[in-house]
Structure 1
Amino acid sequence: MNSTRVARAIVISSALMAAFGWATITTPMPVAASNNPLPAGLNFGLGNDPGDLLWMTSSGVPWKFRYTYLSAGVNTGNGWETWNTPAGQYASYYMTDSAVNGYLPVFSYYELLQSNPSSGSNESDRDFSNLNNTATMSAYYANFTLLMQEAHSFGGNVIVHVEPDLWGYLEQRAAGASPATLSASVASSGNADLQGLPNTAQGFAYALLRLRDRYASNVTMAIHDSLWATSRDLAIDTDPALDPNAVADQAGGFLNSLGISSNPYGSAWDLVFNDVADHDAAWYGDNSHWWDRTNSSLPNFARWLAYMARLHADTNRALVVWQVPVGNQYFLTMNNTNGHYQDNRAEYFMSHPSDLQAAGIQAVLFGKANGGQTNYTDDTGDGITNNNGVPTSGYQCNGCNSHASTVADDDGGFLRMAVANYYGPNPAPVPGPGGAYHPVVPQRILDTRTSLGGHPGRLGGGQSLDLMVAGQAGVQANAIAAVLNVTVTNTTSAGYLTLYPSGAARPTASNLNWVAGQTIPNLVEVKLGTSGGVTIFNSQGLADVVADVEGWVAAPSSPAGPDGLFKALQPARLLDTRDGTGGYQGPLGQGAALHMQVLGRGGVPGAGAEAVIVNVTVTNATATSFLTVWPTGGSLPTASNLNFTAGQTIPNRVIVRLGTGGQIDIYNHAGSVDVVVDVNGWFTDATAGQVGAGLVPLSPYRILDTRSGVGGFGSPVPGGSSIALPVAGKGGVPAMGSATPPRAVVLNVTVTDTTAPSFLTAWPDAITRPWTSDLNWVAGVTIPNFTVVEVGANGDVDFYNHLGSTDLVVDVVGYYN
C-alpha cells in the first residue's frame, strides 16, 4: 500500500477459523453503459461475518448489503475455500444466509497479496511478483473459478469486489501508461479458459471478467478505486491547488482501460468501489486523517464528493463506498480507546444522503478494516459503556459526544440508530398465524348519499366516520379484517381517504386519492378494531363515500379448515377485449355482461379454488360508467368495482368468489369499454388436504415514499426502470428468516407527479417481470390501487414504471404467511 497508508490486515471469519469549488477541466469521454444491479437510490450495508449475522438481523434496520472478505491466499492451504467443507462451501453458506435475510451478498476477494510466495519489500512489489508467478496465478484462476461456480449454484445476484489495493498499486507502477504495459501471467498460467488473452495487467482484468462470463453470469463484478492510486492521496492531501476533477480523470482513465470502457474478450466491470480510510481517524493520534465536516479546510468531504461525482461521470458506473469507518462523535462510549475510536464519516454520510446520491453513490458499506478499530458489535466485550458520563474531546469536538448509549455496541449504537432513521421508523414484526379469507357476494354497507350505514351527507375535510363491519353483510362477529370496495364521489377538492382500525391512532397512509369532481374506487383490506369497526378519515373538502363488502378474514383461533387460504401466483392475463384474450373480442357494451372462465387458467387450478384476486382495468371508455364483478350464476348485486369517465384508463383490484363453472361475470353500466383482467392469486375451497397462507392484517404503515426518501428511494422512478423494495422486516411484516416469513404482502400503491401516460407492474424480486399491470394512468394524475403481491425469496418486491417518471408511495396493510 502507498507509504502514507497503513496496511490492511488479513481478515478471516472468526466463526471459522470516507466549500471548495474546483474548475472543470476536460469533458469526460462517454463510456459504455453496464447493467446496474443495485437497487435504486442510496442504500446501506455492513461488513458482517457469519458470527455477527444475528446482530444484523436483530438490529431492526433493513440493511441492503452484507459483505465479507475471501482471503488468506490461493495456495496456502488456509484460504477461504478451506473454511468449510466441501471446498467453497463457506461462500455458499454466506450467499444463502444473506439472501434468506434480504441482504445482497458481497465478497471482497483479497487473495493475491496473501498467496505464496509474495516476494518483495512492500505490498506493491509482493502483489506484482505474485501476478507474474505462473504457478501462483494458475492457482489463483482456479480459486476464482471455484468462487464463480459457487455463485452460479447460488443463482441470485452476488457482488464480487476484486482485489482492493491491487489496482492502485498497478496504476502507480504504470506511471501514467496503460495497464497493457505491465506484465502478468494470464494465458501463460496454463488455464484453458484464458488462452488467447494477453499476459498483461490489462489481460488479468479481462481474465476475471471472462471467468465471470463463462461460469456465473449472475455475478456483479466490481473493480476498486483507491484514493491514493494517482500518488496524490485525496484522503489526506491539504494542497488547495489539488483539483479533484483532474485526479478523478486520471483514476477513471486507468480503470476504464481495465475493462470498463471496453473489453474485446467479454463483458465489462459493473461497479466501482472506493474506500475512504483504513482506520478510524482518531486512531492515528493526530489530525492528519480527519475530514473537515464544515468543508472550510482540507481534507474535507466536499472535495471528496467532487472527486466521486467526476469518477462516476468518467466511468459511467454506480459507485459503492466500502469499508467506511464505524466511529462517531455522538456517544459517550467513543472515548478513543481500543474499539471506541472516534471518526466523523459515518455521521456526515448519514446527514448528507442526498449529496452522496447526487455524486453517483448508490451504496455505503460500513465496516472496520483492522484490529482495534470501532465496530458496530460489542467486539471488546465491555458491554454498555458511557465513560462515566464524561465526554471525550477530539477533532472539531469539544465534548460533543455527550449522548448516553443504551446498547453494548462499541459505537454506542450509532449505526443502528442513524441507518434506521434513514429508512424510517419501523414497527415491530407482527407474527402469524394468519386467518382464512371468506368471500361474500358484494353488498353495500355504506352510502353517505342515502344515509346507508348511519352517516347522512358528505364527509367533511378533517372529519372521520366510524363504520361497523363485523356482523354485517355476511361478515362474522369474530372477523379480524374485511375487504371493502370503497368509492368517493361528489368531491369538492383534491383529497384522500385513510381507513384504519377503529380505536387506533390514525396512520400516515392513504387508500384513495382524488381531485375535485372525480369519482374513484379502490379495494381496501383493513384490520378491524376491537369493536369490529373501521374508521374512515377524509383529508379535505367534501366527499360522498360508498363501501361495498367483498369478504372477511377469520380469526386464527377460529375452527381451522382447508378453505380461505391464499395461494400467490405470478401475474397472468386472463382477459383483454382489445385483442381477444379470454375469448371476447371488442368492447363490452352498455348494459352488457360477459362470463369469464377463471378456473383452470393463469395458474388457477382446475379444481379447489373458491375465490380469486384479479386486477381489472378499463380503457377506451365512451361514457361515464361503472363495472360490477360477481360470481357467475348469481344476481347482479347493487355494488360497483370500478367507476370511470369517458376516455379514462383506470384499474382496480377485485377479490371475487368463483361462481358456476369456475366463472365470474363482469357488467358494464353505460357506453362501451374495453376490459383487461390479470390474475395474481386464489383462495382454497373446502376440499380436504389443501394448504396455503393466512392473512395477518396490520395497521397501515408507509414503507415507501419517493417524494421524501422514506424507504431509501428519494427520487421519481424513471420510465423503463424498476426498483426493488424491501418489504420483509418492514411495517410489521416479519423478516424472511423469522419463524413466520411472509409469502405475500398486501399493499396500497399510489402513483403521483406522473409525467406521461404509463403503467406500473409489481412482482416478486429476482424473477422475470410479467407482462401485466397494476396501475394505469395519464400524465398529471394521482391514482392508487390495492395490490397483493408475492414476496421474492430475498424479501423484496419489484415495481416497474413503463414511461415518463412517477413518484411512488407504498403502504403495507397486511401479509400472508
Structure 2
Amino acid sequence: MGKSSRFLVGLGSADLADIQKQGITPDIYDQYLVGVGAGSWPTWNSPSGAYVQVVAQNADKLGAIPMFTLYQMASNGDGNLSGLTNTTFMKNYWDNVRLMFQQIKAYGKPALVNFEPDFWGYTQRISNNADPATVSAQVSNNPDCSNQPNSVAGLSQCLMQMARAIAPNAYIGFPPALFGDLHSTAMSYMLKLGADKADFIVMQTLDRDGGCFETVPQVSYCTRAGTGWYWDESNLTSPNFKEHFALAKTYYQGLQLPVLWWQTPLGVPSTQIGGSSGKYRDNKVRYFLTHASEMVAVGGLGAVFSTGEVNQTSINTDGGQFKTYSTSYLAKPAALP
C-alpha cells in the first residue's frame, strides 16, 4: 500500500482541517458511506458518488490511505434486516456498492473498504446453526453477481466478487461483530461468509469511550447494560488488553489474515469514573500506541482511532493526547514481520 513495514496508525470521522491544524500525519484516513436511496452517500456531492473522491483527495493531502466504511445495511435501523428481501432496497444497495468500487477504481491508488460493521452479527443471530446460507437476501438480481445464491452467504461473496472485478486496487475486510452471545460460533460463521478470502480482518474494541457507559444516570447515547468498560492496563484483572489481544489472535489464526483495529475510541485515561460529553475517559490510545509490538505479535497490521458517536472524545477535545502518543510512537515504531 506504499507504507513502511510497520504497525500503521489511522484516524477516522475527523475533519481534514482539524487533523492538519495539529500536524497529525495518519497512515489511514477513514470515513463512513451510509444510506440507501434518497439522501444516501452518493447524493452528498455532484456528480453522484463524488464523495469517494473527496475522501480520497483528503487522504492524499494527509499522505494517508483512504478507508471507506460501508455502512448501508443499517439504513432501516441498526439490526433491522428487512431490506435484505426488499427488491427496491437491494437494487439501490447494489447500485451504491457498484458506484463505490467504480469510484475507487477511478482513484487508482490503494484504498481500504470495511464491509458493514455489526451487520454480520445480526445475520448470525437469525441464522440456522450459524449458517449464512440459510438467511435470505436478494443477490442474483444484481447483474454483477447473477452467479451467487440469494442468501447472506451469497451477499458476502458478491461484495468480494465486485471488489475484485471492478476495483483491484481496493483492499477489503470483514468485521466480526464480537457480540458476546455469538463468540462460540463467530469464527465458523466468518469462514462460511468467506471472510478468509478478503485481505484483512476488521477488529473492534468499543464504539464509545468506556467512561460514557459509566455515567450515573446513564446518558441516552450510552445505555448498554454491563460493566468493565474501562480496561485494566496492568492486565491483572478482567477485562484487560491481553484478553482482547488473545481474542484478536484467534481471528488472525482462524482466518489467516492481518488484523486492523477500527473505530478505536479516543478517550483520555483518568481515575475519575465516567466523564462528560466530549471528555469521557478511556485508555486505548495510550495503551495501543505504547504497546504496538503486542498488537503486531497477534497479527496486527494497524489501528484506526475515531469517534463512534458525536458526544465522544475527539482529537479536538482530547487535550492533544492523540497527537502526543502518535508522534511518540512514530519516533520508534513497531516493525511488521
- Superposition TM-score, scaled by structure 2 size: 0.90
Q: Aligned to 1:197, which of 148, 156, 163?
A: 148
Structure-2 change in CA distance of 1:321 and 1:212 (3 Å) = same
Equivalent of 1:337 in 264, 276, 279: 276
Report the residue type matching 2:304 in the other structure. L
Structure 1 residues 227 and 302: CA distance shift in structure 2, 3 A: same
Partner of 2:99: 146
AA in 1 matched with 2:200: L
Q: What is residue 36 of structure 2 aligned with on the other side?
A: 74
Deviations 1:663-688 (A, max 9, x none): xxxxxxxxxxxxxxxxxxxxxxxxxx
Counterpart residue number, 1:714: 335
Q: Which amino acid aligns with 1:329?
A: P
* Distance (whole Å) between structure 1 residues aligned to residue 253 and residue 22 of structure 2: 35
Give the aligned CA root-mean-square deviation in angstroms: 2.2
**Residue 307 (structure 2) pairs with residue 362 (structure 1):** no
* CA deviation after TM superposition for structure 1 residue 348, in Å: 1.4
| Residues 132 and 335 of structure 1: CA distance in aligned 2, closer, same or farther (over 3 Å) | closer
Match of 2:174 among 201, 223, 236: 223
Partner in structure 2 of residue 156 of structure 1: 109
Following the alignment from structure 1 to structure 2, what is the Cα–Cα distance between the partners of residues 39 and 210?
A: 29
1:310 to 240, 244, 250: 250
Within 2, Cα distance between the matches of 1:45 and 1:113?
24
Superposition deviation, residue 297 in structure 1: 1.8
Return the offset for 1:411: 0.7
Residues 1:37 and 1:173: Cα distance change in structure 2 (over 3 Å): farther
Q: Which residue of 2 is the match for residue 208 of structure 1?
A: 159
Aligned residues of 1:229 and 1:251 also touching (Cα < 8 A)? no
- Structure 1 residue identity aligned to 2:84: L
What is the match of residue 347 of structure 1?
Answer: 286
Q: Deviations over 1:372-391 (max 9, x none)?
A: 111112xxxxxxxxxxxxxx
Distance 1:289 1:193 in 2: 43
Alpha-carbon distance between aligned partners in 2 of 1:210 and 1:79, rounded to the nearest angstrom: 23
- Read off the aligned partner of 1:269 and give its amino acid letter: A
Alignment check: 8 A CA contact 1:37 1:220 kept: no
1:256 to 180, 186, 191: 191
Q: Does the 8 Å contact 2:52/2:100 carry over to 1?
A: yes
TM-score, normalisation: structure 1? 0.38
Name whichever structure is richer in helix by fraction.
2
1:413 aligns with 2:320: yes
Amino acid across the alignment from 2:7: L
Q: Give the Cα separation in 1 of the matches to 2:271 and 2:27.
A: 25
- From 66, 78, 84, the equivalent of 1:123 is 78
Deviation per residue, 1:340-361 (Å, 9 max, x gap): 1111111111221111110111
CA distance in 1, matches of 2:4, 2:301: 8
Q: 1:281 to 1:713 in 2, by over 3 A?
A: closer
2:310 corresponds to 1:371: yes
Deviation at 1:183, TM superposition (A): 1.2
Map 1:281-680; keep pairs closer than 5 Å: 281-285=210-214, 287-329=227-269, 336-377=275-316, 410-424=317-331
Q: 1:59 aligns with which of 9, 12, 22?
A: 22
List per-residue Cα deviations over 1:741-795 (Å, max 9, x = no partner).
xxxxxxxxxxxxxxxxxxxxxxxxxxxxxxxxxxxxxxxxxxxxxxxxxxxxxxx
Contact 1:62 1:423 in 2 (8 A): no
Tell me, yes or no, if the aligned pair for 2:293 and 2:334 is still in contact at 8 Å. Answer: no
Read off the aligned partner of 1:354 and give its amino acid letter: S
Report the CA distance between 1:53 and its aligned residue.
0.7
Q: Is the 8 A contact 2:209 2:267 kept in 1?
A: yes
Superposed, 1:673-688 pairs within 5 Å as none
CA, structure 1 residues 272+174, in 2 after alignment: closer, same or farther (shift >3 Å)?
A: same
1:46 aligns with 2:6: no
Matching of residues 688-767 of structure 1 within 5 Å: 710=332, 712-714=333-335
Corresponding residue SS for 2:160: helix
What is the DSSP-based 3-state SS (H/G/I as helix, E as strand, rest coil) of the residue aligned with 1:153?
helix
- The Cα shift of 1:201 comes to 0.6
Cα distance, 1:38–1:256 mapped onto 2, change above 3 Å: farther
Q: Is the 8 A contact 1:113 1:130 kept in 2?
A: no
2:182 aligns to what SS in structure 1? coil
- Which of the residues 112, 120, 127 maps onto 1:174? 127
In structure 1, how many angstroms separate the alpha carbons of the residues matched to 2:274 and 2:135? 46
Shift of 1:367: 0.6
How far has the Cα of 1:176 moved from its partner?
3.5
Q: In the aligned structure 1, how far is the partner of 2:290 from the partner of 2:192?
A: 35
In structure 1, what is the Cα distance between the partners aligned to 2:178 and 2:203? 7
Shift in Å, 1:54: 2.1
Q: What's the CA shift for 1:230?
A: 4.5
Alpha-carbon displacement from aligned partner over 1:51-100 (angstroms, at most 9, x marks no partner): x21222343333100001111x211x111111111111111121122124
Q: Is the 8 A contact 1:230 1:251 kept in 2?
A: no
- How big is the shift at 1:132? 1.6
Q: In 2, are the aligned partners of 1:168 and 1:230 still within 8 Å (CA)?
A: no
Are the equivalent residues in 2 in contact too, given 1:45–1:63 (CA < 8 A)? yes
- Give the Cα separation in 1 of the matches to 2:60 and 2:318: 26
Contact 1:131 1:184 in 2 (8 A): yes
Question: What is the distance in 2 between the residues matched to 1:197 and 1:229?
Answer: 30
Letter in 1 for 2:174: I
Percent identity between the two aligned chains: 27
Contact residue 174 and residue 195 of structure 2 kept, 8 A: no
Determine helix, strand or coil for the equivalent of 1:274: strand
Shift of 1:335: 8.0
Moved over 3 A (4+): 36-39, 229-232
Alpha-carbon separation, structure 1, partners of 2:3 and 2:151: 31
Structure 1 residue 208, shift from structure 2 partner = 0.8
How much has 1:177 moved relative to structure 2?
2.8
Q: Which amino acid aligns with 2:138?
A: S
1:11 equivalent in structure 2: none
